[in-house]
Structure 1
């Protein structure tokens, strides 16, 4: 993939035990050069259990040179020595996360549909900003009152060099406007894990290429 190509940022399903490590391996094999990040997003377990679940997935990502990003928890990201952390608006300050995780950590921030929040995140040292949910999503909070349009991505990439992630209900069938707008990454979850993950990743590759 070239620097101008949109890449995939996989977000884990709620359940990552059982056969999920095998499924992740299949998805990353199918997405060589396309999938460049994986977000570990598991709710309702303590840090010890989260670490136990994360470690085999981290090893798979490392083999495929895919960044392993922890959702919400700076302490867990630090404990795992993960590649980075993704912060919601209530999950802490990027500057404080940087102090804990170090200069090389990838720190992303959810900005919903807000240009203001995105600019604040950039000023605070975020490595990427995420807009969404663009479409109906079971992963993104239902509380996202305002749904962004691809125009917010077009605006961002014209002004800022910080990478931008599009998230929320994205599928191979509806991703073209986001790719055309200049999204650096498409963050996807259900559209990959709710079926054949390898086929879904390949379908994304074809859709991105066609856009």
Structure 2
């Protein structure tokens, strides 16, 4: 993708996006330690519990719920809202929001089960019709991507710059995901993006490197309007 300026969109430069952190599949004690450091930086604006390897276990649902209770409690200490991936029922049980893939439940059902202040996100890839549907159905944000090739989902198709620009014109918060790093996010500076979803660029680092990487992300977001 080519670096943008605000003039490309003919719209005022908006405030910097929030960093949206997703969990990885680390062993739980290690995951928790990393989350505690990342949340303590004050940088994280939204947290998603996504533990696909855990769910593949015979008792994965129960284990995930027990982990999620601890993660939600930790996030609450730092006043960071939480969503869980794909599971409306568990989201309602935990009192948190939900992120839904296209095949993982209806937004209307999520709105029925969740409180009005709980966030509902929808995967929309680069499809404008899906973004419009998410907006009309009452989702809080539409997730677009993959922006770059991702280590988490290496086979996911990347979207074009024009698709991203078009998505940003819709009246719904836009979340970008897929291969995003401190280094390449600067290519998107000036776009009216609301959330930058990150997994590997933070969570795949050793514990002792998490705080430094978060500070680097903070600098990148501080520079968001400097294009």
Is this a same-fold pair by TM over 0.5? yes
Is the counterpart of residue 157 in structure 1 residue 157 in structure 2? no
Structure with larger Rg:
2
Question: What is the CA–CA distance in structure 2 between the aligned matches of 1:27 and 1:202, rounded to whole Å?
Answer: 10
1:48 maps to which residue? Answer: 62
Question: What is the CA–CA distance in structure 1 between the aligned matches of 2:16 and 2:202, rounded to whole Å?
Answer: 19
Q: Which has the higher contact order (CA 8 A, sep 6+)?
A: 2
Select 2:219's aligned residue among 184, 189, 206.
206
Where in structure 2 are the equivalents of 1:1-211 lying within 5 Å?
4-15=15-26, 17-30=28-41, 32=42, 34-43=43-52, 44-45=56-57, 46-82=60-96, 84-140=97-153, 142=155, 144-145=156-157, 147-160=158-171, 162-195=172-205, 196-211=209-224
After TM superposition, give the deviation of residue 187 of structure 1 in Å: 0.1
Contact 1:6 1:179 in 2 (8 A): no
Between Structure 1 and Structure 2, how many residues are aligned?
203
After TM superposition, give the deviation of residue 110 of structure 1 in Å: 0.5
SS of the equivalent of 1:91 reads coil
TM (norm. structure 1) is: 0.89
Please give the root-mean-square deviation of Cα atoms over the aligned residues, in Å: 1.7
SS of the equivalent of 1:19 reads helix
Structure 1 49/19 Cα, relative in aligned 2: closer, same or farther at 3 Å? same
After TM superposition, give the deviation of residue 105 of structure 1 in Å: 1.9
Q: Which runs of 4+ in 1 moved over 6 A?
A: none
TM (norm. structure 2) is: 0.83
Question: What is the CA–CA distance in structure 2 between the aligned matches of 1:182 and 1:150, rounded to whole Å?
Answer: 13
Structure 1 148/159 Cα, relative in aligned 2: closer, same or farther at 3 Å? same
